[in-house]
Amino acid sequence: MFKGSIVALITPFKDGEVDEGALRKLVDWHVEQGTHGIVPCGTTGESPTLSHDEHKRVTDIVIEQCDGRLPVIAGAGSNNTREAVDLTEHAKAAGADGVLHVTGYYNKPSQDGIYQHFKTISDAVDLPIIVYNIPPRAIVDISPETMSRIADLKNVVGVKDATADLTRPSKEQMLIEGDWCQLSGEDGTALAYMAHGGDGCISVTANVAPKLCSEFQEACMAMDFKTALDYQHRLMPLHVALFLEPSPGGAKHAAETLGLCSAELRLPLVPPGAATKETINGALRHAGLLN
């Protein structure tokens, strides 16, 4: 259902507000550059610091601007199940192609609690759901066994896997019958994830290198891993540099450097330091994105 290079889109700000004009230009640029899909209002989109109205407005804008040219997987995650249902209902009404849902960060549910969270969302709204498993941010890990239970829910179609455990795609394939969309959530290990049977990557690096990330994914999907490795060598310094300090500070600095939008963040995030900025600029030059 979803495949290739799917950008975890940054949310551009200007003078403390969502920069709607820049957001629309970013969407058009991703279409032009060959991106295969867009995720607004994820972690990279600074969803924790968007108000509910802003969250829904950003989702509306991205869907409207895409106008069917790219699939939109709307970030709708919350550790409050009722809020997650509300955001999912809005995404469906707005015309999203799917939603991305994280599990219970901070309140740290049990494996059964995680299952019940996704079951409640799946029962409430008829829209494809991608499960986002990211233990470093959510504290809890969705075990392969629990993922198999979740995969049986009627609207759950796949996973965004940011565990960095490259045995996960194979383990989940052993347990899950039928179609199951497996998306990497980590740029640096996406090559290996694809070799284990993945379908694509929800990518931070694609914010600033969409064409390269798209071509990398197309090589992987064609099983041309020699070509994909060439792209990996070109992109790996950027994958690393963008996460030297809390994301999306690095991605927004790179975006501003490339003239895409302002690097403005919302607290508690702050801009990366001078040394990190120079490392990011060097990685952009290494990738051939900056003279």
Catalytic residues: 132, 160
For the beta carbon of residue 92, count every other beta carbon within 10 angstroms: 17
- As given in the structure block, the two tokens for residue 240 are 């690393």
CA distance 109 to 221: 35
Pick the closest to residue 33 from 244, 192, 212 (CA basis): 212
Task: Give the sheet arrangement for strand 129-133, strand by strand.
Answer: 37-39, 4-8, 200-203, 181-184, 156-161, 129-133, 98-102, 73-75
| Alpha-helical regions (H) of the chain | 20-33, 52-66, 81-94, 111-124, 135-138, 144-151, 168-175, 190-195, 210-221, 225-241, 249-257, 274-286
Count the residues in the chain: 291
- As given in the structure block, the two tokens for residue 18 are 């969502």
Q: Are 70 and 63 in contact (CB under 8 A)?
A: no
SS3 152: coil
SS3 133: strand
CA distance 59 to 74: 6
